[in-house]
Structure 1
Amino acid sequence: MLTVPNILSFFRLALVPVFLVLLISAQDVAALVVLAVASATDFLDGYLARRLNQISRLGQLLDPAADRLYLFAALLGLAARELIPWWLVAVIVGRDVFLAVLGIILASNGYGPLPVHQLGKVATFALFLGLPIIMLGVAFPSLAPGAEPIGWAVALWGAFLYWWAGIIYAIETARVIRLPQPAASVRSDTLEG
């Protein structure tokens, strides 16, 4: 449990409230620095986990949890300051609620989570790129004329792809639960990952 990659993940998680407080209190440069440090530790923990052969189930759970928390913190902080509309928050959070419902459906049918779809990764990357670009335009007003439209374009494209991936997950969930039901001991681990 206390591997170097997991310690980095815990550190990244501990920075989420720091990031949110900085963002809400309009300390944009400091918030961007915390986000950059969190991004670096995200890359580093994955690299070290593979390099040191320290991949763990805990690490596989912490990494996406931290990603979601940073995404929600950025959305909430920017919306609280009226830099993005609340409907964008609802669209993105709604998709994650939708996926949670799909997870419950899968679990109730004896399946684990579906593998991450490449489109979902691209969508998440677009959101993680677009929102900080919007923040960059706020932190440095001289960059705003270029940063704002680019940030908005990337963030909106990310939100669209986020839902597109969600629909793919829904279709895949429907397909999986319609499969012939093999023995219970085999079913529970068919879609782990």
Structure 2
Amino acid sequence: MNRTWFAFLPNLISLGRLILVPVSVDMIASRRWTEALIIFVVAGASDAVDGWVARRFDLRSELGAYLDAIADKALLICDYVALAIVGQLPMALALLVVSRDVMIIGAVILAWLLDRPMKIKPLWISKANTFGQIGLVAAVLAALAFNWPLGLWATAGQWAVAALTLASLAAYFRRWVTHMSA
């Protein structure tokens, strides 16, 4: 395949998802739940599409891997914080989600500064954590959009996400300590 503008398509999709982040936060802040849900679903679909296009047409790139991860994390972190600020999720959960990512990024930067760079590979617990985080935001936004009660299921989901987030952080911390001790 001729690598013209099409070669940058997965990156453009990731950039589009990144542009949706402030729009998503604005919809949550404005309590426009249906629009917030639609944006979240579109962002999720764009994540699947950019990955498929990159794999299918062999358009994977280092830039694309970073853009994809940044767009995903920005959307999740911002939506957790926004939902906490408007009182739909506990602030402690939002802080836990944010803190996990900040600690992982900090550890990677510290390893790099100490001339011990690490290759980051997602762990199965990290994938489960991401799935749980996405699922909780989607479920809360859907409940708010369709006027469903946030009951026991939401509390159970919050505890599950908290547990997965802590487990993921512990697994990455263990990997980091092992790497730095070698």
Give the one of 129, 152, 156 matched to 2:135: 129
1:178 Cα deviation after fit:
1.9
Give the one of 101, 104, 125 matched to 2:106: 101
Secondary structure of residue in 1 paired with 2:60: coil
RMSD, aligned α-carbons: 1.6
Q: Which amino acid aligns with 2:62?
A: R
Match of 2:120 in 1: 114
User: What do residues 94-146 of structure 1 show as CA deviations (whole Å, max 9, x unaligned)?
Assistant: 111221221123212421343111110110110100122112112212x22xx
Q: How many percent of aligned residue pairs carry the same amino acid?
A: 27
Structure 1 residue 166 corresponds to structure 2 residue 175: no
Q: What is the CA–CA distance in structure 2 between the aligned matches of 1:21 and 1:64, rounded to whole Å?
A: 22
1:156 Cα deviation after fit:
2.5
Q: What is the CA–CA distance in structure 2 between the aligned matches of 1:123 and 1:43, rounded to whole Å?
A: 17
Q: What is the CA–CA distance in structure 1 between the aligned matches of 2:109 and 2:60, rounded to whole Å?
A: 26
Secondary structure of residue in 1 paired with 2:89: coil
Runs ≥4 residues deviating over 3 A: none
Deviates more, 1:154-163 or 1:12-21: 154-163
Give the one of 43, 49, 59 matched to 2:64: 59
Q: What is the CA–CA distance in structure 2 between the aligned matches of 1:76 and 1:5, rounded to whole Å?
A: 27
Secondary structure of residue in 1 paired with 2:59: coil
Q: Which amino acid aligns with 1:153?
A: A
Match of 1:185 in 2: none
Say if 1:134 and 1:149 are closer, same or farther in 2 by CA, change over 3 A: farther
TM-score by length of 1: 0.85
1:93 Cα deviation after fit:
1.2
User: What do residues 132-183 of structure 1 show as CA deviations (whole Å, max 9, x unaligned)?
Assistant: 2112112212x22xx543343233212211221111111111111222xxxx
Match of 2:16 in 1: 11
Match of 1:21 in 2: 26
- Between Structure 1 and Structure 2, whose CA radius of gyration is higher? 1
Match of 1:35 in 2: 40
TM-score by length of 2: 0.89
Q: What is the CA–CA distance in structure 2 between the aligned matches of 1:151 and 1:62, rounded to whole Å?
A: 31
Gaps of 5+ in 2: none
Q: What is the CA–CA distance in structure 2 between the aligned matches of 1:13 and 1:153, rounded to whole Å?
A: 29
Q: What is the CA–CA distance in structure 2 between the aligned matches of 1:85 and 1:158, rounded to whole Å?
A: 12
Match of 1:139 in 2: 145
Q: Is the 8 A contact 1:134 1:152 kept in 2?
A: no
Q: What is the CA–CA distance in structure 1 between the aligned matches of 2:160 and 2:177, rounded to whole Å?
A: 26
